[in-house]
Structure 1
Amino acid sequence: MNTLTHFATPQLPLLHRGKVRDSLRAPSGDRLIIVTDRLSAFDSVLETAIPHKGAVLNGLANFWFEKTAHIIPNHVIKLVDANAMLVKEAAPIKVEMVVRQYLTGSMWRGYQAGQRTFSGVTVPDGMTKHQPFPQAIVTPTTKEESDREITPDNLVSEGWVTKELYDQMAVKAQMLFAVGSQLLAEKGIILVDTKYEFGLLNGKLILIDEMHTPDSSRFWAAEDYAKNPETAEQMDKEYVRQWLIANKKDGQYPRALTPEVAQEASRRYLDIYQRITGEALPTADTHGPDAPHTGRQDARARMLANLVQAGLMKDAWVNIVMDSPADKEHCEQLRRQFDGYDVFTQLRVASALNFGEALAGMAEIWNNSLEPGVVLAVAGLGGALAATVNVPVISCPPYQDYAELALSLSSLALVPSGTPSLTAVRPDNAAQAALRALNLPRLRERLRQELNATKARLKAADEELRAL
Structure 2
Amino acid sequence: MQAIKETNYKFPNQTNFYKGKVRDVYTIQNKYLVMVVSDRISAFDVVLPEPIPYKGQVLNQIAAISLEATKDIVPNWVINVPDPSVTIGRICEPFKVEMVIRGYLAGHAAREYALGKREVCGVKLPEGLKENDKLPEPIITPTTKASVGHDEDISREDILARGIVSEEDYLQLEKYTKALNQRGTEIAAERDLILVDTKYEFGKADGKIYLIDEIHTPDSSRYFYKNGYEELQQKGEPQKQLSKEFVRKWLIENGFQGKDGQQVPLMDKEKVKSISDRYIELFEKITGKSFVKENHENIYNRVENNVLTALKML
Structure-2-length-normalised TM-score = 0.91
Decide which structure has the larger Cα Rg and report it.
1
Identity %: 38
Q: What SS class does the counterpart of residue 252 from structure 1 fall into?
A: coil
Match for residue 157 of structure 2?
Answer: 153
How much has 1:277 moved relative to structure 2?
Answer: 2.3
Residue matched to 1:23? 25
C-alpha offsets along residues 362-419 of structure 1, whole Å, 9 cap, x if unaligned? xxxxxxxxxxxxxxxxxxxxxxxxxxxxxxxxxxxxxxxxxxxxxxxxxxxxxxxxxx
* Letter of the 1:298 counterpart: N
1:237 is matched by which residue type in structure 2? K
> Which residue of the partner structure matches residue 308 of structure 1?
308
Q: CA deviation at 1:108?
A: 0.9
**Residue in 2 that maps onto 1:441:** none
Once residues 22 and 52 of structure 1 are traced to their aligned partners in structure 2, the CA distance between those partners, rounded to angstroms, is: 16
* One of 87, 96, 99 as aligned partner of 1:97: 99
- Quote the residue 1:266 is aligned against: 276
SS at match of 2:26: strand
**In structure 1, distance between residues paired with 2:243 and 2:63:** 15
Cα deviation 1:272-324 (Å, max 9, x = unaligned):
21122222223x1xxxxxxxxx43433223212312332469xxxxxxxxxxx
- Counterpart position of 1:122: 124
Instruction: Tell me the CA shift for residue 210 of structure 1.
Output: 0.8
Pairing 1:236–2:243 present: yes
Q: Is the 8 A contact 1:99 1:195 kept in 2?
A: yes
**More RCO (CA 8 Å, sep 6+):** 2
Contact 2:219 2:243 in 1 (8 A): yes
Contact 2:15/2:29 (8 A) holds in 1: no
Give the unaligned 5+ runs of structure 1: 285-293, 314-468
- Using the TM superposition, give the Cα deviation of residue 255 of structure 1 relative to its aligned residue in structure 2, in angstroms: 5.3
**Alpha-carbon distance in structure 2 between the residues aligned to 1:224 and 1:240:** 22
Distance 1:87 1:106 in 2: 31
CA–CA separation in structure 2 for the residues paired with 1:13 and 1:261: 38
The structure where strand makes up a greater share of residues is: 2
Preserved CA contact (<8 Å) 1:235 1:268: no
Q: Secondary structure at the match of 2:10?
A: coil
Secondary structure of the equivalent of 1:260? Answer: helix
The match for 1:247 is 254
Task: Give the whole-Å Cα distance in 2 for the aligned partners of 1:228 and 1:259.
Answer: 34
Quickly say closer, same or farther: Cα 1:176–1:61, change in 2 above 3 A.
same
Assess if the C-alpha contact under 8 Å between 2:203 and 2:210 holds in 1: yes
Report what 1:169 is aligned to: 173
1:154 alignment partner AA: D
Which residue does 2:207 correspond to in 1?
203
Q: Are 1:8 and 2:5 matched, yes or no? A: no
TM-fit CA distance, 1:27? 5.1
| Counterpart amino acid of residue 31 in structure 1 | L
For each residue in 1:331-364, what CA deviation from the matched residue of structure 2 results, as whole angstroms up to 9, or x when unmatched? xxxxxxxxxxxxxxxxxxxxxxxxxxxxxxxxxx
- Give 1:265 shift: 1.7
Structure 1 ranges of 4+ moved more than 4 A: none
- For the residue of structure 2 that corresponds to 1:49, the secondary structure is coil
**Partner letter of residue 243 of structure 1?**
W
Q: Secondary structure at the match of 2:241?
A: coil
Question: Which residue does 1:216 correspond to in 2?
Answer: 220
What's the CA shift for 1:110?
A: 1.1
Aligned residue in 2 for 1:361: none
Question: By how many angstroms is 1:36 displaced?
Answer: 0.5
Query: Counterpart of 2:112?
Result: 110
Q: Distance in 1 between matches of 2:264 and 2:141?
A: 32
Partner Cα distance (1:207, 1:124) in 2: 31
CA RMSD in angstroms comes to 1.9
Higher helix share: 1
Asked whether the 8 Å contact 1:37–1:54 carries over to 2, the reply is yes
The answer to whether the Cα contact below 8 Å between 2:16 and 2:28 also exists between their aligned partners in 1 is no
Match of 1:40 in 2: 42
What CA distance in whole angstroms lies between the structure 2 residues aligned with 1:184 and 1:200? Answer: 28
Distance 1:158 1:83 in 2: 38
Q: Deviations over 1:86-143 (max 9, x none)?
A: 1001111110000001111111111111011000101111101110101111000001
Paired AA for residue 262 in structure 2: Q
Counterpart amino acid of residue 82 in structure 1: P
C-alpha displacement at 1:163, in angstroms? 1.4
Bigger mean CA offset, 215-224 vs 194-203: 215-224
TM-score, with structure 1 as normaliser = 0.62
The separation in 2 between residues aligned to 1:9 and 1:304, in whole angstroms, is: 7
Q: Retained in 1: the 8 A contact 2:30–2:91?
A: no
In the TM superposition, residue 271 of structure 1 has moved relative to its aligned partner by: 1.2
